[in-house]
Amino acid sequence: MHITRLLLWMLVWPFTVQADWSQTLTEAEGQTVYFNAWGGSPAINTYIQNWADIAKSRYGIDVRHVKVNDVGAVISAIETAKRAGGGADQGSVDLMWINGENFARMKRGGLLSEPFVETLPNTAFVDLTDPSIAFDFSVPTDGLEAPWGRAQLVMMYDSDRIAEPPRSLDALLAYAEAHPGRVTYPEPPNFHGTTFLKQVLLETTSHPEWLMEPYREERFDQATQGVWQFLDALHPVAWRQAQSFPDSAEDLMGLFADGLIDFALSFNPNDASRKIKSGEFAPTVRTYVHQSGTIGNTHFLAIPFNAQASAGARVFINLLLSPEAQADKANPEVWGDPTVLSMALLTPSDRQLFDALPIGAATLSAEALGRPLPEPHASWTEPLERAWKARYFGQ
């Protein structure tokens, strides 16, 4: 009897999902989706607008990109709405670009919609068991956010001036000591500055297993001892003797492009190639990673609990997970954001979309990038930033 019911469920399930998705498409038509996402990159803004136009023509939904600099402020507004008793269909945010501590904060506060990821037809092309998709900064995603793109920390150097870049923290420190004032990093809590701190933490900690678990205060000093030893040695020979820092990765890359420092970093492995093509970087700039690996993660799309256009948001997310949209996003001439789709799950014709993408001169192959180091649990981020600021700025 149980086997008969299971077989019946397996036969009926695909048709049920198809019917549910047809209902979602009907409900979404005519909706306006307010998509709150970082607005600091013209290339990304153009990509979002192009696919918003496609969503309008194909599905009749109006996607409006609300450009934000601080997604934390958006989350605060959603928290306020929840405390005020705001219910479903009453919010002003329908879709968000988040990951890491922002996702953990929203999940912890009950600020997200019901799980929706497995209801999207195009998740058939996503390996949902991939740890970088199933977990966000070591926090289970539980279907509450859909993967959108991947990122991995890469470093940049000019191969015309440096024959072999420093592929470890020890080598970087040795270079900085031999070339005072030529090494720096963005100031935390800027995202890229904090990422650099976490890279140092992952490479120096004696207890990497602790970092995958929620933060515990009694572990902090022992886990981070190597971070402060490295930075204490680096800062006296760093750019401006670490009395000031670049505000962002873009500022860091600007100093690098002007020849004022010798290394830059990015969380997009295609950034150097794009800047070579735009003329911002010399043609001889190349990227590299540390021998022990570099930190990587996935960024996601989520729907708040009180979204007014939840159906429209799901339809737009599904469109952004299509092979067509993912290949467009992975194109370094468009955005250069690595795909979350599994090549093993695509049809041969869809795989060809990715095989045909141009590869920039400074873009590392998947083999050269290697397996990314996992992000520490999201709860480690704020204590690490706070300790850095207290140690070096007395705040």
Q: Which tens digits make up the pLDDT trace of 222-247?
A: 999 999 999 999 999 999 999 999 99
Answer with the residue of higher pLDDT: 15 or 328.
328
- Check: CB of residue 358 under 8 Å from CB of residue 198: no
Q: Is residue 13 exposed (0-12), middle (13-18) or buried (19+ Cβ within 10 Å)?
A: exposed
pTM > 0.85? no
State the average pLDDT over residues 55-68: 98
The whole-angstrom distance between residue 100's C-alpha and the CA centroid of its chain comes to 8
CA distance 233 to 151: 29
Domain annotation for the chain: domains and CATH numbers: 28-149+299-363 (3.40.190.10), 154-294+372-393 (3.40.190.10)
pLDDT the model gives residue 395? 67
Closest CA to 198 of 372, 338, 362, 371: 372
| Residue found by looking up tokens 């690098």 in the block | 256
- Does pLDDT of 190 surpass 80? yes
